Amino acid sequence: MAARPRWGVPHLVPRGRGLRVGRGGRARLGWPSYGVGPVSDSSDERPGIHPNVAKVIAAARELGLEIEPRQFPDGTKTAADAAAAIGVDVGQIVKSLIFAVDGEVVLAYVSGANQLDESKLADAAGGLKCSRVDADVVRAATGYPIGGVPPFGHATELRVFIDPDLLQWPEVWAAAGTWHDVFGVEPHRLVEASEGEVTDLKRA
């Protein structure tokens, strides 16, 4: 079955080949990216909503999801901050971690209670070396800043890998485009929306 379109133009970028990084963790396009970002919905561009949050809401709707982001002025930069602000278990927080595996930028969604095992992420992506990337690469790949990366609606097509521990909860919370905004979603819907691969990523 063909993947559902997620962009304002036809999906032409092979999955996982939209952005690669060279030496020093700097971004470079490995394939041309024909998508220009998620389709915007002007009905969400109302006062009080950050433009990034409006984009996430629009991207969710393109995937058949209605989300209700919540804003926390003090920020939700860490999983512990987010859990305390929302009033949930830290395990319900989705940590969005961006790495390069053999130069390919990939995303890992990890439970806030866990630490990522980089070697497991490399194995899951079929590569050998997993390395961190800088803030410029994160923004180029996703369209969002570190700490605000949502699970879908990214600027380029990226492979996504998901910690199975997130699936034990009735609801998990992910970033909605900024450090201050998050939204709740059923974890199985998160897997569907992100087209992610569920695989063991937890450091023992």
Instruction: Compute the Cα dihedral for 59, 168, 141, 9 and give only its sign.
Output: negative
Structure tokens at 129: 């070396």
Domain assignment of residue 44, yes or no: no
**Is residue 177 helix, strand or coil?**
coil
Domain extent, residue 143, equals 70-198
Domain assignment of residue 75, yes or no: yes
Domain total of the chain: 1
Largest CA distance in the chain: 46
Q: What integer pLDDT is reported at residue 6 of this predicted model?
A: 34
Cα→Cα distances 108→147, 150, 159, 200, Å: 13, 11, 9, 11
Element (H, E) at 52: helix 51-62
Q: Hey, how many other C-beta atoms are within 10 angstroms of the C-beta on 136?
A: 12
E strand spans, the chain: 20-21, 27-28, 70-71, 94-101, 104-111, 130-132, 159-162, 172-175, 181-185, 197-198
Euclidean distance between CA atoms 44 and 59, whole angstroms: 11
Domain assignment of residue 43, yes or no: no
Domain assignment of residue 22, yes or no: no
**Is residue 83 helix, strand or coil?**
helix
Euclidean distance between CA atoms 93 and 82, whole angstroms: 7
Give the predicted TM-score (pTM) of the model.
0.77
List the chain pLDDT tens, one digit each, 204 residues. 433 333 332 222 333 444 565 544 444 433 222 222 333 333 344 557 899 999 999 999 999 999 999 998 877 778 998 899 999 999 999 999 999 999 999 999 999 999 999 999 999 999 999 999 999 999 999 999 999 999 999 999 999 999 999 999 999 999 999 989 999 999 999 999 999 999 999 999
Which CATH number goes with the domain that contains 182? Answer: 3.90.960.10
Domain assignment of residue 1, yes or no: no
Domain assignment of residue 54, yes or no: no
Euclidean distance between CA atoms 181 and 177, whole angstroms: 7
Reported as a single tens digit per residue, the pLDDT across 76-114 is 778 998 899 999 999 999 999 999 999 999 999 999 999
Domain assignment of residue 62, yes or no: no
